[in-house]
Each structure stands twice: as structure tokens, then as C-alpha cells.
Amino acid sequence: MLDKATVTANIPAADLARARAFYADKLGLTPTQEMDGIMLLYRTATGSTFSVYQTEYAGQAGHTIAQWHVADVDAVVRDLKAKSVSFEHYDMPGVDWNDDVASMGDMGRAAWFKDSENNILCIDDGFPGERVS
């Protein structure tokens, strides 16, 4: 049933204009479509899609709500830090930290940051068996 479907992340924003600026200025992303000033739709060069939508409930999740799989986590962290993005550190068993990048053994490497709406986002090198190269 759902095994043949695609999945899209929906990211909440209390202030859609502020979120648009963050995603453009910090992450280099431009919406491909805007829906009545309540939702921004994004599509990456690899075809992944996600939306950022207006809601008063933004930033309330205490977990990662979206992640980007990249070939070089360290390079992306450096690029984002150059744009004043701050990274989160979490106390997780079995995780070794090298500056802002977590090494999780077979689970790969990852780094977490918050967007302008206080949502937790992640960059990583892909899922086990599906590493980005």
C-alpha cells in the first residue's frame, strides 16, 4: 500500500516570511511554489520535496523533523557555520563528537541545527546501506 508512495516533510513556521529568508539566506533554497501565503513548496536538485507552512505550533517538536543526506557532512557544516548557523549537541550514548559532527558508528555521521522557527533539522551522510557519495 504505502510502500509505493513518496514521503514529503512538512516543516512548521510561525512566521513564513522569516522562514523563507532563513531557508534562502542560510540554506540556499528557493521555493518552487507559494500557496496563498500559507505554504512554501521546495524541491531539491535531486527531486526531494518538502513544504514550510504557516502555523502557530512551529518549533514545538523536540526531535528532528527533516534531514538532508549529503556526501560531505563536514563541508556542509563549514558552509552553514560561515552563514552563522549554530549547531546543536546532544548527549547520546555511543556517539563521538568531532566539533559539531556526531559519529555514530554504523549509523554514520550527522549534525543538527535549528531553523528560524526553532525546528530541529539534520544533515547526515545517509542511512546505513544507502550512504551518499
Task: Find the radius of gyration of the CA atoms of the chain.
Answer: 15
The pLDDT of 3-22, averaged and rounded, is 94
Residue 133 has pLDDT above 70, yes or no: no
pLDDT in tens, 74-126: 999 999 999 999 999 999 999 999 999 999 988 899 999 999 999 999 999 98
Check: CB of residue 55 under 8 Å from CB of residue 14: yes
User: Per-residue pLDDT for 15 more than 90?
Assistant: yes
In the prediction, which pLDDT does 126 show? 83
Task: Give the C-alpha separation, 28 to 26, whole Å.
Answer: 6
pLDDT, tens digit (0-9, with 9 covering 90-100), for 47-56: 999 999 999 9
List CB contacts of 105: < 8 A, sequence separation 6 or more: 94
Name the residue among 21, 19, 131, 28 with its Cα closest to residue 79: 28
What residue ranges do the domains of the chain occupy? 2-124
Homologous superfamily assigned to 2-124: 2,3-Dihydroxybiphenyl 1,2-Dioxygenase, domain 1 (3.10.180.10)
